[in-house]
Homo-oligomer: A and B are copies of this chain.
Amino acid sequence: MKATIITIGDEILIGQIVDTNSAWMGQQLNNVGVSVYEIITINDDRVHILSAFAKAEQQSDLVLITGGLGPTKDDVTKSTICEYFDDELVLNQTVLEHIENIFSKYVKDAILPANRDQALVPSKARILHNDYGTAPGLWMEKNDTIFVSMPGVPFEMKGIMTSGVLPEIIKKGNLPFIHHRTMITAGVGESTIAKRIEAWENALPETIKLAYLPSSGMVRLRLSSIGMDRVEVETSVAAQVKALYDLIGDIIVGESNGESLVHTVFNLLKEKRKTIATAESCTGGKIANLITEIPGASTVFKGSTITYATQSKIDILGIEGKLIDENSVVSAEVATAMAAQARVKFKSDIAIATTGNAGPSKGDSDAEVGTVYIGIADENGAEACKFLMGNNRERVVQKTVNKSLELLQKILIKK
Protein backbone atom coordinates (compact mmCIF):
# COMPACT_ATOMS: atom_id res chain seq x y z
CA MET A 1 0.00 0.00 0.00
CA LYS A 2 1.38 3.39 -1.02
CA ALA A 3 0.41 6.64 0.69
CA THR A 4 0.52 10.33 -0.15
CA ILE A 5 0.40 12.90 2.64
CA ILE A 6 -1.12 16.28 1.77
CA THR A 7 -0.74 19.20 4.14
CA ILE A 8 -3.01 22.15 3.47
CA GLY A 9 -2.35 25.66 4.74
CA ASP A 10 0.23 28.33 4.10
CA GLU A 11 1.65 28.37 7.62
CA ILE A 12 4.29 25.86 6.54
CA LEU A 13 4.84 27.47 3.12
CA ILE A 14 5.70 30.84 4.65
CA GLY A 15 7.80 29.14 7.32
CA GLN A 16 5.69 30.14 10.30
CA ILE A 17 5.69 26.56 11.58
CA VAL A 18 7.65 23.37 10.93
CA ASP A 19 5.71 20.36 9.63
CA THR A 20 6.12 17.76 12.37
CA ASN A 21 2.89 15.93 11.48
CA SER A 22 4.19 14.31 8.31
CA ALA A 23 7.20 12.65 9.95
CA TRP A 24 4.98 11.22 12.67
CA MET A 25 2.51 9.92 10.10
CA GLY A 26 5.35 8.43 8.03
CA GLN A 27 6.60 6.54 11.08
CA GLN A 28 3.17 5.20 12.00
CA LEU A 29 2.37 4.16 8.43
CA ASN A 30 5.69 2.32 8.11
CA ASN A 31 4.91 0.47 11.34
CA VAL A 32 1.76 -1.00 9.81
CA GLY A 33 3.33 -1.75 6.42
CA VAL A 34 2.34 1.31 4.40
CA SER A 35 5.06 3.14 2.42
CA VAL A 36 4.87 6.90 2.04
CA TYR A 37 5.41 7.77 -1.62
CA GLU A 38 5.20 11.55 -1.36
CA ILE A 39 4.57 14.36 1.11
CA ILE A 40 3.19 17.56 -0.35
CA THR A 41 2.40 20.90 1.26
CA ILE A 42 0.10 23.30 -0.55
CA ASN A 43 -1.79 26.52 -0.04
CA ASP A 44 -5.49 26.46 0.86
CA ASP A 45 -6.39 27.26 -2.72
CA ARG A 46 -9.35 25.35 -4.21
CA VAL A 47 -7.78 24.66 -7.61
CA HIS A 48 -4.44 23.62 -6.16
CA ILE A 49 -6.14 21.29 -3.65
CA LEU A 50 -8.19 19.65 -6.41
CA SER A 51 -5.12 19.00 -8.58
CA ALA A 52 -3.20 17.61 -5.59
CA PHE A 53 -6.11 15.26 -4.83
CA ALA A 54 -6.19 14.03 -8.45
CA LYS A 55 -2.44 13.40 -8.53
CA ALA A 56 -2.53 11.66 -5.14
CA GLU A 57 -5.43 9.43 -6.20
CA GLN A 58 -3.54 8.37 -9.28
CA GLN A 59 -0.28 7.53 -7.50
CA SER A 60 -1.45 6.06 -4.20
CA ASP A 61 -3.88 3.81 -2.34
CA LEU A 62 -4.14 6.02 0.71
CA VAL A 63 -4.23 9.83 0.87
CA LEU A 64 -3.88 11.47 4.27
CA ILE A 65 -4.90 15.12 4.34
CA THR A 66 -4.32 17.44 7.28
CA GLY A 67 -5.27 21.06 7.85
CA GLY A 68 -8.02 23.43 6.95
CA LEU A 69 -10.88 22.03 9.03
CA GLY A 70 -11.37 24.91 11.47
CA PRO A 71 -14.69 26.65 12.10
CA THR A 72 -13.76 29.89 10.35
CA LYS A 73 -14.19 30.99 6.78
CA ASP A 74 -10.51 30.86 5.87
CA ASP A 75 -10.78 27.06 5.76
CA VAL A 76 -11.73 25.63 2.39
CA THR A 77 -10.81 21.96 2.78
CA LYS A 78 -14.29 20.61 3.52
CA SER A 79 -16.02 22.36 0.62
CA THR A 80 -13.24 21.31 -1.74
CA ILE A 81 -13.58 17.69 -0.60
CA CYS A 82 -17.29 17.92 -1.44
CA GLU A 83 -16.44 19.25 -4.87
CA TYR A 84 -13.89 16.50 -5.53
CA PHE A 85 -16.25 13.73 -4.40
CA ASP A 86 -19.31 15.33 -6.01
CA ASP A 87 -20.92 15.38 -2.59
CA GLU A 88 -22.77 17.74 -0.26
CA LEU A 89 -22.57 18.58 3.42
CA VAL A 90 -25.13 17.06 5.81
CA LEU A 91 -25.57 17.47 9.54
CA ASN A 92 -24.15 14.61 11.62
CA GLN A 93 -26.02 14.31 14.91
CA THR A 94 -23.23 12.40 16.74
CA VAL A 95 -20.64 15.02 15.84
CA LEU A 96 -23.02 17.80 16.88
CA GLU A 97 -23.54 16.21 20.30
CA HIS A 98 -19.79 15.82 20.70
CA ILE A 99 -19.24 19.51 19.89
CA GLU A 100 -21.98 20.59 22.31
CA ASN A 101 -20.52 18.32 24.97
CA ILE A 102 -17.01 19.82 24.55
CA PHE A 103 -18.43 23.33 24.84
CA SER A 104 -20.47 22.59 27.94
CA LYS A 105 -17.51 20.87 29.64
CA TYR A 106 -14.36 22.75 28.63
CA VAL A 107 -15.13 25.99 26.80
CA LYS A 108 -16.21 29.14 28.57
CA ASP A 109 -17.27 30.89 25.33
CA ALA A 110 -20.87 30.41 24.17
CA ILE A 111 -21.37 27.89 21.39
CA LEU A 112 -21.86 29.62 18.03
CA PRO A 113 -23.39 28.63 14.69
CA ALA A 114 -19.82 28.35 13.30
CA ASN A 115 -19.04 25.73 15.94
CA ARG A 116 -22.21 23.77 15.19
CA ASP A 117 -21.33 23.94 11.48
CA GLN A 118 -18.36 21.70 12.19
CA ALA A 119 -20.98 18.93 12.45
CA LEU A 120 -21.71 19.44 8.74
CA VAL A 121 -19.84 16.66 6.98
CA PRO A 122 -19.80 15.24 3.43
CA SER A 123 -22.68 12.74 3.13
CA LYS A 124 -20.41 10.02 1.70
CA ALA A 125 -17.87 10.32 4.55
CA ARG A 126 -17.43 7.88 7.38
CA ILE A 127 -16.83 9.89 10.55
CA LEU A 128 -13.69 9.38 12.64
CA HIS A 129 -14.18 10.56 16.21
CA ASN A 130 -11.87 13.37 17.39
CA ASP A 131 -11.14 12.86 21.11
CA TYR A 132 -9.39 16.19 21.51
CA GLY A 133 -11.29 18.65 19.35
CA THR A 134 -14.45 19.57 17.51
CA ALA A 135 -13.53 18.80 13.86
CA PRO A 136 -14.01 15.09 13.08
CA GLY A 137 -11.81 13.05 10.77
CA LEU A 138 -13.43 12.15 7.42
CA TRP A 139 -12.88 8.80 5.65
CA MET A 140 -13.91 8.68 1.98
CA GLU A 141 -13.14 6.36 -0.91
CA LYS A 142 -12.85 6.90 -4.65
CA ASN A 143 -11.71 4.39 -7.29
CA ASP A 144 -10.01 2.16 -4.69
CA THR A 145 -8.14 5.06 -3.13
CA ILE A 146 -8.88 5.93 0.49
CA PHE A 147 -8.91 9.64 1.40
CA VAL A 148 -8.73 10.61 5.07
CA SER A 149 -9.03 14.26 6.07
CA MET A 150 -7.97 15.33 9.57
CA PRO A 151 -7.41 18.58 11.48
CA GLY A 152 -3.83 19.89 11.39
CA VAL A 153 -3.47 20.34 15.17
CA PRO A 154 -0.88 17.65 16.00
CA PHE A 155 -2.50 16.01 19.03
CA GLU A 156 -5.93 15.96 17.37
CA MET A 157 -4.47 14.37 14.22
CA LYS A 158 -2.52 11.83 16.31
CA GLY A 159 -5.64 10.86 18.24
CA ILE A 160 -7.67 10.27 15.06
CA MET A 161 -4.82 8.36 13.39
CA THR A 162 -4.32 6.11 16.41
CA SER A 163 -7.93 5.32 17.16
CA GLY A 164 -9.58 5.64 13.75
CA VAL A 165 -7.18 5.32 10.84
CA LEU A 166 -4.38 2.87 11.64
CA PRO A 167 -6.65 0.10 13.02
CA GLU A 168 -8.82 0.29 9.89
CA ILE A 169 -5.78 0.06 7.61
CA ILE A 170 -4.47 -2.96 9.51
CA LYS A 171 -7.91 -4.57 9.13
CA LYS A 172 -7.64 -4.29 5.34
CA GLY A 173 -4.95 -6.94 5.72
CA ASN A 174 -2.34 -8.21 3.31
CA LEU A 175 0.10 -5.47 4.30
CA PRO A 176 3.82 -6.20 4.09
CA PHE A 177 6.31 -5.90 6.91
CA ILE A 178 8.56 -2.84 6.59
CA HIS A 179 11.77 -3.20 8.52
CA HIS A 180 14.51 -0.67 9.25
CA ARG A 181 17.64 -1.12 11.33
CA THR A 182 19.94 1.83 11.86
CA MET A 183 23.52 1.54 13.08
CA ILE A 184 25.05 4.70 14.51
CA THR A 185 28.73 5.23 13.69
CA ALA A 186 30.94 7.96 15.06
CA GLY A 187 34.30 9.46 14.28
CA VAL A 188 34.65 8.49 10.60
CA GLY A 189 33.30 10.19 7.48
CA GLU A 190 30.73 8.85 5.06
CA SER A 191 33.15 8.09 2.23
CA THR A 192 35.65 6.30 4.47
CA ILE A 193 32.87 4.06 5.73
CA ALA A 194 31.74 3.46 2.16
CA LYS A 195 35.25 2.38 1.24
CA ARG A 196 35.51 -0.03 4.19
CA ILE A 197 32.19 -1.71 3.40
CA GLU A 198 32.41 -1.48 -0.39
CA ALA A 199 32.58 -5.21 -1.16
CA TRP A 200 29.79 -5.98 1.32
CA GLU A 201 27.61 -3.19 -0.07
CA ASN A 202 28.08 -4.39 -3.64
CA ALA A 203 27.01 -7.87 -2.59
CA LEU A 204 23.87 -6.76 -0.73
CA PRO A 205 20.77 -8.60 -1.92
CA GLU A 206 18.39 -6.45 -3.96
CA THR A 207 15.71 -6.74 -1.29
CA ILE A 208 17.82 -4.79 1.20
CA LYS A 209 18.50 -1.10 0.72
CA LEU A 210 21.34 0.78 2.40
CA ALA A 211 21.21 4.49 3.22
CA TYR A 212 23.98 6.73 4.57
CA LEU A 213 22.59 9.37 6.90
CA PRO A 214 25.23 11.85 7.99
CA SER A 215 24.48 14.25 10.83
CA SER A 216 26.65 16.33 13.13
CA GLY A 217 29.68 14.15 13.92
CA MET A 218 27.94 10.86 13.14
CA VAL A 219 26.91 8.77 10.19
CA ARG A 220 23.94 6.46 10.56
CA LEU A 221 23.72 3.46 8.29
CA ARG A 222 20.20 2.29 7.70
CA LEU A 223 19.27 -1.09 6.26
CA SER A 224 15.69 -1.26 5.01
CA SER A 225 13.73 -4.17 3.70
CA ILE A 226 10.13 -4.97 2.93
CA GLY A 227 8.39 -8.33 2.53
CA MET A 228 5.30 -10.34 3.39
CA ASP A 229 7.06 -12.70 5.79
CA ARG A 230 8.15 -10.89 8.91
CA VAL A 231 10.57 -13.58 10.13
CA GLU A 232 12.22 -13.86 6.73
CA VAL A 233 12.68 -10.09 6.44
CA GLU A 234 14.08 -9.78 9.96
CA THR A 235 16.42 -12.74 9.52
CA SER A 236 17.87 -11.54 6.24
CA VAL A 237 18.46 -8.03 7.59
CA ALA A 238 19.96 -9.40 10.82
CA ALA A 239 22.47 -11.41 8.80
CA GLN A 240 23.61 -8.24 7.02
CA VAL A 241 23.79 -6.34 10.29
CA LYS A 242 26.05 -9.03 11.67
CA ALA A 243 28.29 -8.79 8.61
CA LEU A 244 28.40 -5.02 9.10
CA TYR A 245 29.49 -5.39 12.74
CA ASP A 246 32.26 -7.76 11.61
CA LEU A 247 33.49 -5.11 9.17
CA ILE A 248 33.14 -1.86 11.11
CA GLY A 249 32.21 -2.88 14.65
CA ASP A 250 35.01 -0.58 15.88
CA ILE A 251 33.13 2.57 14.79
CA ILE A 252 29.55 1.49 15.53
CA VAL A 253 28.55 3.17 18.78
CA GLY A 254 25.04 1.84 18.92
CA GLU A 255 21.89 1.02 17.13
CA SER A 256 18.57 2.80 17.04
CA ASN A 257 15.70 0.69 15.86
CA GLY A 258 13.91 3.46 14.07
CA GLU A 259 14.33 5.38 17.30
CA SER A 260 16.59 8.25 18.01
CA LEU A 261 19.64 8.04 20.24
CA VAL A 262 17.84 9.64 23.17
CA HIS A 263 15.33 6.78 23.19
CA THR A 264 18.18 4.29 23.22
CA VAL A 265 19.70 6.09 26.21
CA PHE A 266 16.31 6.29 27.95
CA ASN A 267 15.71 2.56 27.45
CA LEU A 268 19.18 1.71 28.73
CA LEU A 269 18.62 3.86 31.84
CA LYS A 270 15.33 2.05 32.52
CA GLU A 271 16.79 -1.38 31.84
CA LYS A 272 19.82 -0.76 34.09
CA ARG A 273 17.70 1.04 36.70
CA LYS A 274 19.91 4.12 36.66
CA THR A 275 18.94 7.75 37.10
CA ILE A 276 20.47 10.74 35.40
CA ALA A 277 20.92 14.48 35.86
CA THR A 278 22.41 17.04 33.50
CA ALA A 279 24.40 20.21 34.12
CA GLU A 280 24.22 22.11 30.86
CA SER A 281 25.83 25.30 29.75
CA CYS A 282 26.32 25.59 26.00
CA THR A 283 23.59 23.05 25.22
CA GLY A 284 21.06 25.27 27.02
CA GLY A 285 18.93 22.40 28.36
CA LYS A 286 18.61 20.55 25.06
CA ILE A 287 19.71 17.22 26.53
CA ALA A 288 17.27 17.49 29.43
CA ASN A 289 14.57 18.62 27.04
CA LEU A 290 15.04 15.61 24.75
CA ILE A 291 14.81 13.23 27.71
CA THR A 292 11.74 14.88 29.26
CA GLU A 293 9.89 14.71 25.94
CA ILE A 294 9.65 10.95 26.47
CA PRO A 295 6.57 9.91 28.45
CA GLY A 296 7.74 8.28 31.68
CA ALA A 297 10.92 10.38 31.78
CA SER A 298 10.44 11.01 35.51
CA THR A 299 11.41 7.40 36.25
CA VAL A 300 15.01 8.03 35.10
CA PHE A 301 15.48 11.81 35.00
CA LYS A 302 16.23 13.64 38.25
CA GLY A 303 16.69 17.12 36.90
CA SER A 304 19.06 19.58 35.39
CA THR A 305 20.74 22.91 35.87
CA ILE A 306 21.29 25.24 32.96
CA THR A 307 24.06 27.50 34.18
CA TYR A 308 24.59 29.85 31.29
CA ALA A 309 26.14 32.64 33.31
CA THR A 310 29.50 31.84 34.93
CA GLN A 311 28.34 33.10 38.32
CA SER A 312 25.41 30.69 38.25
CA LYS A 313 27.84 27.76 37.99
CA ILE A 314 29.13 28.92 41.37
CA ASP A 315 25.80 29.82 42.95
CA ILE A 316 23.69 26.90 41.75
CA LEU A 317 26.07 24.02 41.25
CA GLY A 318 28.54 25.02 43.93
CA ILE A 319 31.57 25.08 41.62
CA GLU A 320 34.47 26.86 43.32
CA GLY A 321 35.18 30.30 41.88
CA LYS A 322 38.88 29.59 42.23
CA LEU A 323 38.60 26.54 39.96
CA ILE A 324 36.98 28.67 37.27
CA ASP A 325 39.52 31.49 37.66
CA GLU A 326 42.46 29.12 37.42
CA ASN A 327 41.20 26.99 34.51
CA SER A 328 38.65 29.15 32.65
CA VAL A 329 34.96 28.41 32.61
CA VAL A 330 35.40 26.37 29.41
CA SER A 331 37.81 23.72 30.70
CA ALA A 332 38.04 20.03 31.51
CA GLU A 333 38.30 20.88 35.22
CA VAL A 334 35.05 22.84 35.23
CA ALA A 335 33.19 20.25 33.11
CA THR A 336 34.34 17.52 35.51
CA ALA A 337 33.27 19.53 38.55
CA MET A 338 29.89 20.36 36.98
CA ALA A 339 29.15 16.69 36.34
CA ALA A 340 30.31 15.65 39.81
CA GLN A 341 28.33 18.40 41.52
CA ALA A 342 25.17 17.71 39.49
CA ARG A 343 25.38 14.04 40.48
CA VAL A 344 25.62 15.00 44.15
CA LYS A 345 23.01 17.77 44.07
CA PHE A 346 20.42 15.72 42.16
CA LYS A 347 21.33 12.43 43.89
CA SER A 348 21.48 10.70 40.50
CA ASP A 349 23.53 7.67 39.47
CA ILE A 350 25.00 9.42 36.45
CA ALA A 351 25.40 13.07 35.52
CA ILE A 352 26.56 14.67 32.33
CA ALA A 353 27.80 18.24 31.95
CA THR A 354 28.51 20.51 29.00
CA THR A 355 30.51 23.73 28.94
CA GLY A 356 31.71 25.37 25.80
CA ASN A 357 31.49 28.24 23.44
CA ALA A 358 28.89 27.79 20.70
CA GLY A 359 29.44 31.25 19.24
CA PRO A 360 28.81 33.45 17.38
CA SER A 361 30.99 35.53 19.74
CA LYS A 362 33.22 34.50 22.61
CA GLY A 363 31.35 34.45 25.90
CA ASP A 364 32.69 34.37 29.45
CA SER A 365 35.87 32.58 28.39
CA ASP A 366 38.74 32.96 25.95
CA ALA A 367 38.04 29.57 24.37
CA GLU A 368 37.82 29.53 20.60
CA VAL A 369 34.28 29.32 19.20
CA GLY A 370 33.45 25.61 18.90
CA THR A 371 35.47 24.44 21.91
CA VAL A 372 33.34 22.18 24.11
CA TYR A 373 34.08 20.05 27.17
CA ILE A 374 31.71 17.26 28.12
CA GLY A 375 31.99 15.94 31.67
CA ILE A 376 30.51 12.70 32.92
CA ALA A 377 30.21 11.44 36.47
CA ASP A 378 29.16 8.12 37.94
CA GLU A 379 29.95 6.06 41.03
CA ASN A 380 33.53 5.61 39.80
CA GLY A 381 34.30 9.32 39.63
CA ALA A 382 34.14 12.06 37.05
CA GLU A 383 36.07 12.94 33.91
CA ALA A 384 35.81 15.25 30.91
CA CYS A 385 36.81 15.26 27.25
CA LYS A 386 37.51 18.17 24.94
CA PHE A 387 35.90 18.52 21.50
CA LEU A 388 36.28 21.02 18.67
CA MET A 389 32.86 21.34 17.09
CA GLY A 390 33.43 23.90 14.31
CA ASN A 391 32.28 27.47 13.90
CA ASN A 392 28.54 27.17 13.35
CA ARG A 393 26.41 27.79 16.46
CA GLU A 394 23.61 25.42 15.49
CA ARG A 395 26.06 22.66 14.62
CA VAL A 396 28.14 23.11 17.78
CA VAL A 397 25.07 22.65 19.96
CA GLN A 398 23.73 19.71 17.95
CA LYS A 399 27.10 17.95 17.87
CA THR A 400 27.51 18.44 21.62
CA VAL A 401 24.07 16.96 22.29
CA ASN A 402 24.83 13.98 20.01
CA LYS A 403 28.24 13.42 21.54
CA SER A 404 26.79 13.60 25.07
CA LEU A 405 24.16 11.00 24.27
CA GLU A 406 26.80 8.84 22.61
CA LEU A 407 28.98 9.01 25.74
CA LEU A 408 25.98 8.18 27.93
CA GLN A 409 25.14 5.22 25.77
CA LYS A 410 28.72 3.92 25.93
CA ILE A 411 28.86 4.19 29.70
CA LEU A 412 25.41 2.63 30.16
CA ILE A 413 26.07 -0.38 27.96
CA LYS A 414 28.89 -1.37 30.30
CA LYS A 415 26.80 -1.08 33.49
Contact = CB atoms under 8 A, between A and B. Distances in A.
Given A19-B22, A37-B43, A191-B112, A285 B295 contact: no
A195 B115 CA distance: 11
Interface in A267-312: 277-278, 284-286, 288-289, 291-293, 295-298, 301-309, 311-312
A12 B23 contact: yes
A315 B345 contact: yes
A407 interface: no
A73 interface: yes
Given A23-B12, A36-B13, A285-B285, A107 B346 contact: no
A71 B214 CA distance: 11
Interface in A1-50: 9-20, 22-28, 30, 35-43, 48
A228 interface: no
Interface stretch (A234-242, A374-382, A390-398): A390-398
A59 to B, nearest CB: 9
A347 B311 contact: yes
Contact of A19 (B23, B278, B285, B364): B23
Nearest to A188: B109
Contacts of A11: 211, 213
B15 A360 contact: no
The number of chain A residues touching the other chain, given as a range, is 35 or more
A212 to B, nearest CB: 5
A190 interface: yes
Given A212-B72, A312-B303, A28 B15 contact: yes
A49 to B, nearest CB: 12
Contact of A25 (B15, B191, B284): B15
A205 to B, nearest CB: 15
A192 B134 CA distance: 14
A357 to B, nearest CB: 10
Contact of A315 (B9, B178, B346, B359): B346
A39 B12 contact: yes
Contacts of A209: 74
A62 to B, nearest CB: 14
Contacts of A10: 211, 224
Interface string A207-228: 0011111110000001010000
A167 interface: no
A155 interface: yes
A100 interface: no
Contacts of A191: 71-72, 109, 112, 114-115
A258 interface: yes
Contact of A16 (B222, B296, B360): B222
Contacts of A395: 132, 155
Contacts of A213: 11, 16
A189 interface: yes
A214 B346 CA distance: 38
A363 interface: yes
Contacts of A73: 194, 201
B288 A298 contact: no
Given A38-B40, A284-B293, 5 more contacts: A12-B22, A13-B35, A15-B26, A109-B189, A132-B392
Which 3 pairs from chain A and chain B are nearest by CB? A284-B292, A15-B27, A15-B26
Interface of A: 9-20, 22-28, 30, 35-43, 48, 70-75, 106-107, 109-110, 112, 114-115, 132, 153-155, 159, 178, 180, 182, 188-192, 194-195, 201, 209-215, 222, 224, 258, 277-278, 284-286, 288-289, 291-293, 295-298, 301-309, 311-312, 315-316, 345-347, 359-360, 363-364, 390, 392-395
5 contacts: A15-B36, A74-B212, A278-B306, A303-B316, A309-B346
